[in-house]
Amino acid sequence: MRRQIGLDGVSAGYANRSVLSQLTARVPAFTTTAVVGPNGSGKSTLLGVLAGVIPVTAGTVEHRTDRRPAFVAQRSRAADALPMTVRDTVAMGRWERRGLWRRLSRHDRDVVERSMDRLGISALADRQLGELSGGQRQRALVAQGLAQEAELLLLDEPTTGLDAAARCLIGDVLAEVTADGGTVVVATHDLEAARAAGHVLLLQEGHLWGEGAPGETLTDRVVEQVWRLPRRG
């Protein structure tokens, strides 16, 4: 399996707080990797490291190519107050390629419309982001990630708080991305979605508990141990 990213002995965290410790793992190319673990285990921090926005304090992160990844951060409240339409929000996904002040080309506009269509939000294109429901806003942010046409798409809990139909839609869209030759990394609390991924990274308290195929990594026993669930039956 080709490798999109290789992490070797990576430690990382925040100014006065070390979170990830000595992490050695890989993200295979052309499939979805689910990053799972209890609250506070370091999933968002790991995504930040993969996105290059959180520097490592030790170890190395090797990317297969130099292209910038697309990063859909956890639903941001800050953006809600900005007077931006859904279309503006998705169009921001083209800035990296287009440059901030250049007009969007016909192709850029097509990509923006197609991304909204894939997330089922075309009818919301002219609505202000701040007046949407949480789930609708989340779809707009995923559409923005998609519009970047990056070879690596990183998403932090994209389906948290979404209804079953929206979760299913986002799952289908991400499957299309990998079928088209993209690589997806998604931090999630949805173990059912993680079991459908191609690869799993399981974190606990900033350490890698395990990685590999979901069936082998997320056994009932491991889930009980890592999440400290009481034994059933």
Ligand X SMILES: Nc1ncnc2c1ncn2[C@@H]1O[C@H](COP(=O)(O)OP(=O)(O)OP(=O)(O)O)[C@@H](O)[C@H]1O
Residue with tokens 């190519």: 65
Alpha-carbon distance 142 to 213, whole Å? Answer: 25
Q: Taking the complex as a whole, how short is the minimal distance between the CB of residue 184 and ligand X, in angstroms?
A: 17
Alpha-carbon distance 222 to 202, whole Å? Answer: 10
> Residue 39 or 231: which CB sits closer to ligand X?
39
Angstrom CA distances, 8 to 26, 46, 58, 90, 96, stand at 9, 13, 9, 34, 28
Alpha-carbon distance 40 to 62, whole Å? Answer: 25
17 binds ligand X (CB under 6 A): yes
Q: Taking the complex as a whole, how short is the minimal distance between the CB of residue 180 and ligand X, in angstroms?
A: 28
Q: Taking the complex as a whole, how short is the minimal distance between the CB of residue 207 and ligand X, in angstroms?
A: 12
> Residue 40 or 161: which CB sits closer to ligand X?
40
21 binds ligand X (CB under 6 A): no
> Residue 112 or 197: which CB sits closer to ligand X?
197
Q: Taking the complex as a whole, how short is the minimal distance between the CB of residue 122 and ligand X, in angstroms?
A: 30
26 binds ligand X (CB under 6 A): no
Query: b or e along 19-44 (b: 16 or more beta carbons within 10 Å of the residue's beta carbon)?
Result: bbbebebbbebbbbbbbbbeeebbbb
Nearest to 145 by CA among 74, 82, 85, 61: 74
Kindly indicate which of the ranges 11-19, 25-33, 63-71, 138-146 contains the residues binding ligand X, using the contact rule CB under 6 A.
11-19
Q: Which of residues 34-93 bind ligand X (CB under 6 A)?
A: 37, 39-45
**Sole binder of ligand X in the list 5, 10, 12, 19 (CB under 6 A):** 19
**Sole binder of ligand X in the list 2, 14, 18, 172 (CB under 6 A):** 14
Alpha-carbon distance 183 to 89, whole Å? Answer: 23
Binding-site size for ligand X (CB under 6 A) equals: 11
> Residue 17 or 77: which CB sits closer to ligand X?
17
Per the CB < 8 A criterion, the answer to whether 182 and 151 are in contact is yes
Burial class (CB in 10 A: 0-12, 13-18, 19+), 8: middle
**In the complex, which residues of this chain contact ligand X (CB under 6 A)?**
14, 17, 19, 37, 39-45
